[in-house]
Amino acid sequence: MVRMTLKSMLLSALLMFITTGAQAADALLKPFVLASKTAGTTAEKSAQVKTALATAGFEVVGEYAPYAGANILIVTNDELKKNAAASDFGGYGAVQRVSVTENGQEVQVSYTNPVYMANVYRMKDDLGTVAASLAGALGKVEEFGAQGMTAKQARKYHYMIGMEYFDEPSWLAAYGSYEEAVQAVDAKLANNKNGVSKVYRVDVPGKQESVFGVAMKGSGDGKYMDDQFIMKEIDFHDVKSTAHLPYEVLVSGNKVYALYARFRIAINFPDLSMMGNNSFMNIMKTPEAIRLALQKTVQK
């Protein structure tokens, strides 16, 4: 009787372990994490966030205010850069973005979900410790931005049939060497041609790869590549996804790439409807507008 009881207990424990592991593997990931909602101003909260990030070991490599009431801090640390170096085209995941956004009477602090981003960028490590560090520094109320997908789904994500995957980026330019490419892109972004300007640059250690964050401004016929225009159309929920910005340009070897917008926008807004109000239809011209603006800016 005792033997049967022990056997039953061991079997129950094993089943619980297997079930828990399966649940963890199938946990739904979302693009953003809401850290807090409080009273205050963007400037005040941004200063507090910078201090908290520095205390937690993050380096602020860039800052971008795309429109009134919004500020974005781009951060990195040794772990992010190490994982970027170990991953194919890992430069996209060498940073995380922290947003401070005024919405009515409150200021929202949010950040990109490192685990979600690590999976959609097909990185070697899932950045769980980076996620824990950001949550410890800034807080964590909830993940948001989508109904969610599993890590396996995120690694194979594309919005719909016929649209791009992570490994189908836009090829923008080629140079004689990595050194020539990265210096040229840096200089061209500094010139702010075509409404595209530099927000940050992070070089991936031990690898010929650099990621640039870019601000995009346009009006009239060029409005479809404009950051504010795009966000006004698609970032319409009460909890803001401001940390979608800024867009990236990647120098890898002697070539210059950017994730095609039908992938880059969709990973942060995967539940956005194709048609209707606040839909992809309203920014239908945006993917090509972004590609052409980036290509014109960085081409040789």
The helix (H) or strand (E) run that includes residue 281 is none
CATH of the domain at 180: 3.30.310.70
Render pLDDT for 84-135 as a digit per residue (tens, 0 to 9).
999 999 999 999 999 999 999 999 999 999 999 999 999 999 999 999 999 9
- Asked if residue 23 belongs to a domain, the reply is no
Write down the pTM of the prediction. 0.90
Render pLDDT for 138-158 as a digit per residue (tens, 0 to 9).
999 999 999 999 999 999 999
- Asked if residue 266 belongs to a domain, the reply is yes
How many Cβ atoms from other residues are within 10 Å of residue 100's Cβ?
A: 30
What angle is formed at CA 252 by the lines to CA 93 and CA 257, rounded to 5 degrees? Answer: 80
Calpha distance 181→53 (Å, rounded): 31
Q: Closest by alpha carbon to 212, among 230, 227, 222, 197?
A: 197
SS3 66: coil
- Asked if residue 51 belongs to a domain, the reply is yes
Render pLDDT for 236-257 as a digit per residue (tens, 0 to 9).
999 999 999 999 999 999 999 9
- Asked if residue 9 belongs to a domain, the reply is no
Question: How many domains, the chain?
Answer: 1
Q: Closest by alpha carbon to 243, among 49, 103, 112?
A: 112
User: Peptide bond preceding 270: is omega within 30 degrees of 0, i.e. cis?
Assistant: no
Render pLDDT for 190-243 as a digit per residue (tens, 0 to 9).
998 899 999 999 999 999 999 999 999 999 989 999 999 999 999 999 999 999
- Asked if residue 110 belongs to a domain, the reply is yes
Q: Measured in whole angstroms, how far is the alpha carbon of residue 114 from the centre of its chain? A: 8
Question: And the tokens for 203?
Answer: 């070089």
In this prediction, residue 25 carries a pLDDT of 46
- Asked if residue 119 belongs to a domain, the reply is yes
How many Cβ atoms from other residues are within 10 Å of residue 23's Cβ?
A: 9
Could you tell me the pLDDT band of residue 20, with boundaries at 50, 70 and 90? very low
Render pLDDT for 38-84 as a digit per residue (tens, 0 to 9).
999 999 999 999 999 999 999 999 999 999 999 999 999 999 999 99
195: domain range? 28-298
In this prediction, residue 26 carries a pLDDT of 66
- Asked if residue 21 belongs to a domain, the reply is no
In this prediction, residue 279 carries a pLDDT of 87
* Cα Dmax for the chain: 82
- Asked if residue 14 belongs to a domain, the reply is no
